Amino acid sequence: MTATVRSLLSAGGACLLLAGCVSFGSEAPPQLLTLTSNATPAAGAMASASVTDAIVVDVPTVERTLDQVRVPVQVSDSAIAYVKDAVWADKPARLFRTVLAETLAAGSGRLVLDQVETGAERSTMLSGQLHRFGYDEDARAAIVRFDAVVRKPGSPLRKQRFEASVPVATVDAVTVGAALNQAANAVAAQVAAWTVG
């Protein structure tokens, strides 16, 4: 056996040993969490409007702790952990934007678009910042807090804070996910009524 062959065999053996110790991909979570709107337009429902009558719902801005797919736990004023195995199917801001848009469309009957579809400056614009979207250990509740901003053509800007909390008995992915879905829908309903009111 030549030195070259021995080197290749040795390198191959080292790779096999290494493969048993190193993972080249993160393990998939048992399930992915998502949000579903309690109020959605009926199948086949149509809406048409001029640009000035449409409502554009933008993706909320978030701070870094929410700019990811894990579910944060507010342990204290200065400490954050994460709910084990709780992973969103998409980032919370985009999921929440969908619930807002669905709730607005179902409740108002108006044409609801996203920024990608229109970008028109003459539409009513709903934007804002998602401050909380996770579990609070002190409150033992899932909390959603959203600062909504509405801009209507020819009217001054309006801003208001909305919040909902849902008690959580067991801190696990399924329970916290369901509670956040409930809280998100409660906030979306409040924001929708305020936007078109």
Per-residue model confidence (pLDDT) at position 179: 98
**For 18-57, how does the pLDDT look when each residue is reduced to its tens digit (9 = 90+)?**
333 333 345 666 789 999 999 876 665 555 555 667 889 9
Least confident of 41-45, 84-88, 104-108, 190-194: 41-45
Q: For the chain, how big is the Rg over CA atoms in Å?
A: 23
**What pLDDT is stored for residue 116 in this prediction?**
60
Q: Which CATH architecture has domain 47-196?
A: 3-Layer(aba) Sandwich (3.40)
pLDDT at residue 4, as a whole number: 45
117-to-56, 86, 196 alpha-carbon distances in Å: 9, 31, 20
Sorted by where each begins, the domain ranges of the chain are 47-196
- What number is the average pLDDT over the span 154-180? 96
Tell me what pLDDT residue 124 has: 87
179, amino acid identity: A
Average pLDDT, whole number, for the chain? 83
